[in-house]
Structure 1
């Protein structure tokens, strides 16, 4: 028998603590070892109980989840899953939590006290079980430093013709750990880059706008949440909004964004990386630079197969050593279609080397 991983539940509502605890009663992997009523209580309990994973409410009295998270990450780092409300303040706090080192988050379906929390039971259990297995070294907040070009490893010679002067499009897919990964890649892309960037980050509706706004503040390129009909321009990044697949369509010589909430979620995800890549495979006016970064599951690998079959594509996967979760990049590498496997801090420079 493998010993169960230990979970601490942090929430100021006794009702919510009970509900979350009940979710794990049948788990063969997780055992609830304690509860905490606020951030200060959580810090004490983490020191005494040494849990493997913590679920933490963002908004709590006395010491909120963000303040507690900062202190936990500096004193006793542990995998933390935030529970957040889908308000503007909630979404902004959640993104800050990702920067401070939280592994992932789950959006409560209906505010602080969610009587219908059962709707997110499966998602929460899956994320907690995954988080409990992540090594502590990957959880500690890394300083986000620009990569050093001198340390750049040589890209292997490309096995087919890569015409640097042909139009390019960059396609990025990521999930768990993605907000921090994107924060290391997008700010290192130059303002005058000769390609647009289309991004799928698995997130529920409401959170992608805050993510885009945050990344826009940090980057030289323009970053926005994609809207129906946006003209796709070089030096601009478009993040698929939660709840919509992101496609492209051609009108004359112009490409625009097409959002789709009709096709069901693919593999549980809408937006889906596979949908973005498959859709792009239909257009050959431009070459594609595809990047698959940290995330659970295998989203992106089927789309990569379709892209490679239909046109000129280079594929970059984030290395296992820097991924919070080496799921999506691993699945991409296993297709044998990836050209470069690089650490997170090298991804921006690797993209740049393929651009005109």
Structure 2
């Protein structure tokens, strides 16, 4: 059975072109069309399509307002068709923030047949990716539902069973919690459950040396038994010495993602407090704006604008490192993306230009149509270098090219991040960086990815120190950099 698509555009001519392009793929069928956002919302309620293509600029109700209503009432994949004028570009960036799956540049009446064919190919690829992502998400949701909510007796069955019992036997079951405690919680319940805090009188005293001895006695367990998440990469969990620990107030150990750096962070927990010099927090050494010691590189594609917002808004303005970003996007859109993120985050976010000197607290987005490289500058500084070399894996800018430029910069502590996106871009070069001993590597976890392609490829190559949902990546970057 083909996937059912709805096409929304105020132009009958454009609705016909988009319909013909979509139906070149036998697995897709345009089930209905609409002339504006209001009609689209009515048609979606009536037809329940699998996916919608949505024009941005339309009379009566534009694509942006319609998208808000769709995501609120009938969430489903929406691909925006954007014009290349300034307003269309700006509204497309906002649509991606609101949850649109992706966008393509809308063909015009003067577009050549070759370019129209290219638009069609890109549109069909995006629809395939959206449907695959929807299938995976639905399968995960169903599997989770079966684990969290297995089939239980109905209320009527329970009532009938109670009535059938002799009155004298109706009593609370003996020690039900004991039996339940021996069974592991389902994943979702375990994640949501809060540990019961010990009362003040029952809190055990904490001997830091005993804890350290226990840590060294279990080198392969990543300290998971002490209440912290275990590393997603087993081979990174190595034995540590006393000199490799940094204690800050209370003790909860996190596995070191790179043993060669020799640091295991201590974070607050409810285990207890330390006293004396052991409780003193080690203060980070401040560096000047241009004299930074760390650099963060972020690569992303489909779903990237929303993901970038989620990560960058958790990073403060005084972040002691520059951030370089490749978002797979055409020209004009990257400038609008930088302006939008700059208005929504505390960081300074700009579109990179040739020869810019990198400074901490600033994020540089590769301009559409150019590869972004980081190269040494004068007096120990670093700068941007833009090139027009051939696209890499069909992309310019390319995540791979930016990552590769960081390989020789061994004087810097490099932190490599791979977010949502189709394909496997960035994964192989992340592996090379990982093997070269970069400080940390991050991949967005499947639960928050629009498309779990690029991060999954890196995870499968076993080159990721941290696999985290979006809302945890920014704070973790702040922790490992500071």
Q: CA deviation at 1:350?
A: 1.2
Q: CA deviation at 1:267?
A: 0.8
SS at match of 2:80: strand
Contact 1:78 1:136 in 2 (8 A): no
Moved over 3 A (4+): 112-116, 133-139, 151-155, 163-166
More helix by share: 2
1:248-259 correspondence to structure 2 within 5 Å? 248-252=374-378, 253-259=380-386
Structure 2 residue 299 is the aligned partner of structure 1 residue 169: no
Q: CA deviation at 1:84?
A: 0.3
Q: Which residue of 1 aligns with 2:96?
A: 98
Q: CA deviation at 1:138?
A: 7.3
Q: Which residue of 2 aligns with 1:148?
A: none
Q: Which residue of 1 aligns with 2:126?
A: 127
Contact 2:22 2:123 in 1 (8 A): no
- Deviations along 1:114-153, one digit per CA (max 9) or x if unpaired, are 56533311111101121233349979xxxxxxxxxxx995
Contact 1:293 1:318 in 2 (8 A): yes
Structure 1 residues 191, 124: CA separation in 2 closer, same or farther (over 3 Å shift)? same
Aligned length: 342
Structure 2 residue 89 is the aligned partner of structure 1 residue 88: no
Q: Tell me, in whole angstroms, the C-alpha distance in 2 between the residues paired with 1:19 and 1:189.
A: 44
Structure 1 residues 121, 339: CA separation in 2 closer, same or farther (over 3 Å shift)? same
Contact 1:290 1:315 in 2 (8 A): yes
Contact 2:424 2:457 in 1 (8 A): yes
Q: CA deviation at 1:113?
A: 7.3
Q: Tell me, in whole angstroms, the C-alpha distance in 2 between the residues paired with 1:54 and 1:38.
A: 12
The two structures have a TM-score, normalised by structure 2, of 0.67
2:7 counterpart (6, 9, 22): 9
SS at match of 1:312: coil
Tell me which moved more, 155-164 or 275-284. Answer: 155-164
Q: Which residue of 2 aligns with 1:143?
A: none
Query: RMSD in angstroms over aligned alpha carbons?
Result: 2.3
Structure 1 residues 136, 220: CA separation in 2 closer, same or farther (over 3 Å shift)? farther
Tell me which moved more, 112-121 or 79-88. Answer: 112-121
Larger Rg computed on CA atoms: 2
Contact 2:258 2:439 in 1 (8 A): no
Q: Which residue of 1 aligns with 2:186?
A: none
Contact 1:4 1:31 in 2 (8 A): yes
2:469 counterpart (343, 352, 355): 343
Q: Which residue of 1 aligns with 2:256?
A: 157
1:45-194 correspondence to structure 2 within 5 Å? 45-110=43-108, 114=111, 116-135=115-134, 153=229, 155-162=254-261, 167-194=293-320
Q: Tell me, in whole angstroms, the C-alpha distance in 2 between the residues paired with 1:224 and 1:138.
A: 34
Q: Which residue of 2 aligns with 1:239?
A: 365
2:387 counterpart (255, 260, 263): 260
1:325-340 correspondence to structure 2 within 5 Å? 325-340=451-466
SS at match of 1:34: strand
Higher relative contact order at CA 8 Å, sep ≥6: structure 1 or structure 2? 1
Q: Tell me, in whole angstroms, the C-alpha distance in 2 between the residues paired with 1:285 and 1:43.
A: 55
Structure 1 residues 34, 121: CA separation in 2 closer, same or farther (over 3 Å shift)? same
Q: Which residue of 1 aligns with 2:195?
A: none
Q: Which residue of 2 aligns with 1:269?
A: 395
Q: Tell me, in whole angstroms, the C-alpha distance in 2 between the residues paired with 1:100 and 1:136.
A: 21
More strand by share: 1
Q: Which residue of 2 aligns with 1:147?
A: none
SS at match of 1:133: helix
- Unaligned segments of structure 2, at least 5 residues: 139-226, 230-252, 264-284, 286-291
- Deviations along 1:166-189, one digit per CA (max 9) or x if unpaired, are 811100011111111111111111
SS at match of 1:354: helix
Q: Tell me, in whole angstroms, the C-alpha distance in 2 between the residues paired with 1:152 and 1:342.
A: 14
SS at match of 2:463: coil
Q: Tell me, in whole angstroms, the C-alpha distance in 1 between the residues paired with 2:100 and 2:257.
A: 37
Q: Tell me, in whole angstroms, the C-alpha distance in 2 between the residues paired with 1:38 and 1:224.
A: 34
SS at match of 2:355: coil
Contact 1:226 1:240 in 2 (8 A): yes
SS at match of 2:260: coil
